[in-house]
Amino acid sequence: MRHYKKLNISFAGFLNRELIAEEFTRPTQIQIGPRVQPHIDGNITFQKDPARPWAINCFMAQVNFRSSDEHKVMRIMNKYGGKVVQLREELHQRGHEETDNTSKGKEYNFECVDELISHRSFN
């Protein structure tokens, strides 16, 4: 069974989003059927850094990844000077919505993530 983790990384400096996206999505030598497996199996969402909205090269990357790829994510974060910041829950990267089949029809929103890595974990 695959376990997924979620982490929000703040990158500041002379970087661009394409460089970070290339690090996360570059192909590996492993091929599953007709497609090549990516370097990190997961999802990445870029957003502007609210602490520095005027800066072009300051952005945040919220990454949802398999727990077996954690060392790869941490290596990329250390290589480019990333810092773990607070998660943004409203992004719903692996979010699902369900409606119960009762007369009330209540909707439930949940996220299929096993571990949320917070900025408080690293203080």
For 114, which DSSP code? S
3-state secondary structure of 115: strand
Enter the pTM of the model.
0.71
Look over the chain and give the mean of its residue pLDDT values, rounded to a whole number: 78
Write out 4-71 in H/E/C secondary structure.
EEEEEEEECCCCCHHHHHHHHHCEEEEEECCEEEECCCEEEEEEECCCCCCCCCCEEEEEEEEHHHHH
pLDDT given at position 43: 81
pLDDT in tens, 8-56: 888 887 678 888 888 888 877 777 777 766 678 778 888 888 877 787 7
